[in-house]
Chains A and B, each alone.
Chain A
Amino acid sequence: MDSVLAWLIITVIKILVILGIVLGIGAYLTLVERKVAAHIQRRPGPMVVGWHGLLQPLADGLKLLTKEDLFPRYGNRFLYNLALVLALVPATLVFAVVPFGPEFETFGIKVKPILTDVNVGLLLVFAFGSMAVFAIALAGWASNSKYALIGSMRKAGIVVSYEVVITFAVMGPIILAGTLSTYEIVQKQIEQKLWYIWLQPIAFVVYMFAVLAEMGRVPFDIQEAEAELVTGFTVEYGGMKFGLFPLVEWYVEGLSLSAIAVVLFLGGWSPINIPFLGFIDPLFFLGPLSPFVWFALKVTLLFLFILWLHWTLPRYRIDQITSTAWKVMLPLTFVNLVLTAVIAPLIWR
């Protein structure tokens, strides 16, 4: 009886930690983005609220909360609000299968820093990832405006086509690791002393492009191509609801998909890897904490790379985006699958 109780308490603690991390960092990522974008464009970014703009997310949050909440006249109110829930919940659920670090020992209980070590972790990631399509389609339809409908059709089209691409791109590392559970994938990479990015460069590039499309970042930034449609399907939302969609899409999903990328390709919490030889760990002085720091470091670096891309490249046209998904990315992943099938036995020996 007490093991179930202990298990329950640990899970509740894990849930609280993960929710705290996700939503807390999510808000502060808006500040990181505005600072990075500002310095790329030779301007200082938010400086007024708090020292160097540290309180800016709170200010934004307060402003959005106090904004008036409009509702289009003939829209469908229940779906209008349901779309929000359907956007936020799956995006945060993805963190349930993300392993933050190795197993560790506290107060005599062995704790795995992963919410649920389901051995179909990766499948769940894509199931939750594509639940976002519901939110987009319903948001567009429920706000009863031409712009919102066209915007939601476009965005949903992209997310569906890149859902397929991302699933196939991830096949490579799964074959190498031999399991679907995210925790074991990282274990395997540490055992084989090999990050999967060295063997799967094509898969990594395709995965990154699919992440950009899934998040709606440039060059697949069709959602708020403000030049044509005002802000895509969120045009009829106001106040915090309008603020929530980019928070979900850009920051929560951004974090989760780059965390999965780190798990699959950059060896989770393992330090820097030289293929087949082993690991060098410049942060060894941190001791048991270093894996967690390594994981956080890699996720932030990947996220900053996405920001860097977002503020440099122009944006594709909608039909070019979907045609690259089906005509370029998908064949690339098939080629990659064939290659992995050839070199995989070399790794399993």
Chain B
Amino acid sequence: MPWAKAEEFVELKNRFEGLEVEEKPTLTALHVDKGRLIELLKALKEEFGYKLFIDHSVIDFPDKDPRFQAFYILYNVDERKRVVVKTWTRGELPSIEKLWFAGKWAERECYDMFGIRYEGHENLVRAFMWETYQYYPLRKDFPLEGYATEYLPSLNEVLWGDNLQGLMNYDRMHTPVPTLEDLEITEKRRLQKKAQIVLNWGPLHPGTHGTMWFLFDLEGERVVQCDVILGQLHRGVEKLAENEMYNQFLVYTDRMDYLSALCSNQAWVVAIERLLDITDLVPEKAKYIRTMLSELQRINSHLLWLGTYALDLGALTIFLYAFKEREKLMDIIEGITGARLTISFPRIGGVRMDLPEGALEVIKAFIKRFPKELKEWETILSRNRIWLRRNVDVGIITKEDVYYYGLTGPVARGSGVPYDIRKFEPYDAYEWVEFDIPVGEKGDVYDRYLVRLEEMRQSIRIIEQCVKALEKMPKDAPFFAESPDPKKLKLPLDGIGLKVPEGEIYSSGENPRGELGFYVYSTGGVKPYRVKIRPGSMYNLCVYPKLMKDRVIADAVAILASLDPVVGEIDR
């Protein structure tokens, strides 16, 4: 886990007198007081090369005097080092919008969830809730089930007079629900109208593939300015995480980015294994199975992206071809894990069950034919002049934009930044398999399309090597870790009993849509104290308003599809 070493910051320490560096195996943190925060961040960004913004949030300690501890996670792409900057605050923070635009959206979320005020923020509005919502839900003093203040009986009762007693006795009092006026105010606060017409694109629109509400300020066909209202799919996963046991939270990870459930499960499981420091206890077979399954899931998710992307640009048949292959993948995953979409197959310490008979033969048969199919679609699309006209030189993201907007995953690789967690911080079996990272150069929609196609081929290579390794292993090789002494470290297959010592960690996995990171702060016990989830597609989406300036609405679809956002992961 390449965290920055303490000695690198010696020169910084004498420049900032209040700075102290805390180095742990799971995390390297710089503690600074609020006044000098912006200078430190600027120094880290310009002089020390920590250009890529990863995440920013706040931990709430209701009993301590400066109540909130804010943390900023930065990454140095060239020397592959990560650092966390921490500071204490009562509720006021300087905005880092000038340093990183991604900070603007992260700060909106902190304001929405914790009520932290940011001076210098251009338009501080709530990220997910509606403007007229009075509470700050993620604070510790906000109850898990919320304040049930509104009388909202279920329709079955009102219209048909069912008596819903017994197990299904839903209480009639309900937490506040947004009315049309609330949404009206949210829309007005979000975008000041400058041009002719404000076109509402969303929240329910076939083109957005998810409940994102885009506001386009149109001048004729040209978009003058654009902004996004999120939160239609906000289920408060981070609040739930604080009330679920470590193993049981696995179920919520595959509901976030519902198209790559296995990759998100793997990321969560690896994060907790690193926190418990039992990565070498996990048997090799379990690591190979988890890697192979998450690569299958990556192809699965890229196929859905390709299908809907071609569908939006008019090539309806590619949608059906991509879903034909996706159906095969779903069959394989269903045969191995038992579920098609919400797969909670990995466990902290291994996987739930061994591979069934015939699994490796089926995967080999699939791998043999898939590159041929990919080649066929490329002949239909890649060098088609209409496809080129719609995609080349559209929505160009430069290298600086990648750092400024905190972009990760295929979106960053499309612009030439080779940022891939599987190579930079290999987890599970990624260090034993060799594969390439596809990188584009211009950073337009066409490069991201080529990068994702190449990524599918690389996944095929990884799966091949995993299948070869798994075939050599004996049939009864263990697939779940035996803890050295069960009294001290109980590793159950089901959901109960896992005790995690004090500590905090930030670990991330490479999802098909970007880096899915988990910042886990645990104060011992069975439940985490605070889990901040770093959503890959939310920060990829925050570059969308900049890409859409001065473009035609018809491009809105192509650029959005190239960023490939999934609303479950954005709204959490």
Contact = CB atoms under 8 A, between A and B. Distances in A.
A306 to B, nearest CB: 15
A228 B553 CA distance: 7
A310 to B, nearest CB: 9
Contacts of B478: none
B446 to A, nearest CB: 13
B320 interface: yes
A221 B557 CA distance: 15
B389 A313 contact: no
Interface string B302-320: 0000000011111111001
Nearest to B560: A227
Nearest to B208: A227
Contacts of B316: 37, 41, 311
A235 B320 CA distance: 26
B390 interface: yes
A43 interface: yes
Given A43-B320, A314-B381, A319-B221, A230 B206 contact: yes
Interface string A210-239: 000000001101100111101000000000
B326 to A, nearest CB: 13
B314 A218 contact: yes
Interface in A301-315: 311-315
A229 to B, nearest CB: 8
B384 interface: yes
A320 B321 contact: no
Interface in B115-156: none
A228 to B, nearest CB: 5
- The winner among A43, A311, A312 for most chain B CB atoms within 10 A is A312
B207 A41 contact: no
Contact of B315 (A42, A312, A319): A312
Contacts of A228: 201, 207, 553-554, 556-557
A67 interface: no
Contacts of A77: none
B199 A41 contact: no
Interface string A314-347: 1111111000000000000000000000000000
Nearest to A229: B553
A280 interface: no
Contact of A316 (B207, B221, B389): B389
B39 to A, nearest CB: 45
Interface in A163-205: none
Interface in A233-291: none
Contacts of B313: 227, 314-315
B219 to A, nearest CB: 13
Given A227-B206, A318-B554, A313 B221 contact: no
A226 B207 contact: yes
- The winner among A41, A312, A314, A320 for most chain B CB atoms within 10 A is A314
27 contacts: A40-B317, A42-B321, A43-B320, A146-B197, A150-B221, A218-B314, A219-B386, A227-B207, A227-B311, A227-B557, A228-B207, A228-B553, A228-B554, A311-B316, A312-B315, A313-B384, A314-B315, A314-B384, A314-B387, A315-B314, A316-B389, A317-B389, A317-B554, A318-B554, A319-B552, A320-B389, A320-B390
Interface of B: 197, 199, 201, 206-207, 221, 310-317, 320-321, 324, 380-381, 384, 386-387, 389-390, 552-557
Nearest first, the 9 A-B pairs at minimum CB distance are A315-B314, A41-B320, A227-B207, A227-B312, A227-B557, A314-B314, A314-B315, A317-B554, A314-B313
Given A317-B389, A317-B390, A319-B221, 6 more contacts: A41-B321, A42-B320, A227-B311, A314-B390, A315-B314, A317-B552
